[in-house]
């Protein structure tokens, strides 16, 4: 399962109203740590297919969503379960740390 591009248009359907766990990656193309995190997030999306929905929010293209998450620094990871934010993390994280975030 590939990551889903999250926009303000599909946010309610894909995240807010989704029953289950969503891992959101807030990123930008010019961000070095974001680029380093991309393959890790892709690997998690593949390994947790059917268990965790993985979405990517480009902060340059979706400033409203960035502000809604009070994102001041990227990369930022957000774990949402049943429409409620449970965990956040700012900066590069290794795969093991991200997987631990998903344990709700």
**CATH number for 60:** 3.40.30.10
What distance in Å separates the CA atoms of residue 59 and residue 49, rounded to the nearest whole number? 24
71 catalytic residue (yes or no): no
The whole-number pLDDT of residue 37 equals 96
Q: What is the mean pLDDT of each run of 10 residues along the chain (104 residues)?
A: 90 96 97 96 94 96 95 96 96 95 88
Are 68 and 80 contacting, i.e. CB atoms less than 8 angstroms apart? no
31 catalytic residue (yes or no): yes
The whole-number pLDDT of residue 43 equals 95
| Catalytic residue (one of 21, 24, 34, 65) | 34
| Catalytic residue (one of 6, 24, 26, 31) | 31
Q: How many domains does the chain have?
A: 1
The whole-number pLDDT of residue 49 equals 92
Question: Could you list the residue range(s) of the whole structural domain that residue 23 is in?
Answer: 4-101
Bridge pairing between strands 52-58 and 21-27: parallel
């Amino acid at each position: 399962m590939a990551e889903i591009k999250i926009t303000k248009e599909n946010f309610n359907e894909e995240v807010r109203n989704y029953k289950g766990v969503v891992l959101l990656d807030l990123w930008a193309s010019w961000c070095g740590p974001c680029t380093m995190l991309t393959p890790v997030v892709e690997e998690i999306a593949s390994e947790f297919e059917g268990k965790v929905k993985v979405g990517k929010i480009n902060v340059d293209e979706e400033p409203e969503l960035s502000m809604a998450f009070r994102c001041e620094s990227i990369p930022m990871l957000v774990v949402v379960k049943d429409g409620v934010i449970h965990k956040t993390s700012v900066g590069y994280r290794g795969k093991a740390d991200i997987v631990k975030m998903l344990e709700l």
